[in-house]
Chain A
Amino acid sequence: MFSNYIFYFLSALALYSSVMVLLSKKPIHSVLYLTLTFFAIGGHYILLNAQFLAIVHIIVYAGAIMVLFLFTVMLLNLNKEERSPKPIWVKAAAILAGIMLGLVLIGVFRGYDLRLIQHPMESQIGLVKELGKILYRDYMLPFEVSSILFLTAMVGAVLLGKKEQI
Chain B
Amino acid sequence: MLIMRHELLLIAITVILLLVEIFLPGDKKSRVITLAILLMTAVLILGFVPGPSGTLFGGMYQTTALISMLKNILNIGALIVMIQSADWLRKPENKEKISEYYILLLSTLIGMQYMLSSGDFLMFYLGLELATIPLAALAAFERFKEKSAEAGVKFIFSSALSSGILLYGLSMIYGTTGTLYFAEVGPAFTGTPLQVLGFIFFFAGMAFKISLVPFHLWTADVYEGAPVNISSYLSVVSKGAAAFILTILLFTVFSKIALMWSNVLYIIIILTITMGNLFAIRQQNLKRFLAFSSIAQAGFILLGIIGQSQYGMTTVIYFVLVYIFSNLGAFGVVSIISNRTGCETINDYDGLYRTNPRLAMMMMLSLFSLAGIPPVAGFFGKFFLFAAAANHGLYILVLIAIINTIISLYYYLLVIKAMFLNRSDRPIPKFKSDFYTSLGLILCLAGIFAVGIASTIFEAINGLSFGLY
Contact = CB atoms under 8 A, between A and B. Distances in A.
Please indicate whether A and B come from the same complex rather than being unrelated chains: yes
Interface of A: 104-105, 107-109, 111-112, 138-142, 145-146, 148-149, 151-153, 155-160, 164-165
Interface string B377-397: 000000000000000000000
Given A148-B11, A149-B129, A156 B60 contact: no
B304 interface: no
Contacts of B130: 145, 148-149, 152
B123 A142 contact: yes
Contacts of A151: 18, 107
B193 A111 contact: yes
Contacts of A159: 97, 100, 104, 137, 141
Residue from A105, A148, A164 having most chain B Cβ neighbours under 10 A: A148
A34 B143 CA distance: 29
B226 to A, nearest CB: 13
Interface of B is mostly: helix
A146 B144 CA distance: 30
B104 A108 contact: no
A7 to B, nearest CB: 17
Nearest to B135: A156
A152 B193 contact: no
A8 to B, nearest CB: 20
A111 B192 contact: yes
A156 B140 CA distance: 10
A67 B67 CA distance: 41
B162 to A, nearest CB: 16
B448 to A, nearest CB: 32
Instruction: Please provide the 3 A-B residue pairs with the shortest distance between their CB atoms, ordered closest to farther.
Output: A156-B137, A152-B107, A108-B193
Interface residues of B, number: 38
A112 B137 contact: no
Contacts of A155: 18, 100, 103-104, 107, 134, 137
Given A140-B57, A156-B104, A148 B110 contact: yes
A138 B60 contact: yes
Interface string B170-202: 000000100000000000000011100100000
A152 B57 contact: no
Contacts of B103: 152, 155
Nearest to A109: B194
B136 to A, nearest CB: 7
A142 B197 contact: no
A131 to B, nearest CB: 14
Contacts of B25: none
Contacts of A112: 176, 192-194
A160 B140 contact: yes
A148 B107 contact: yes
Given A145-B126, A155-B137, 10 more contacts: A104-B197, A112-B193, A141-B56, A141-B57, A142-B60, A145-B114, A145-B130, A152-B107, A152-B137, A164-B96
Contacts of A157: 137
A18 B144 CA distance: 35
Contacts of B60: 138-142
A151 B104 CA distance: 10
A111 B120 CA distance: 27
B123 A145 contact: yes
Nearest to A165: B96
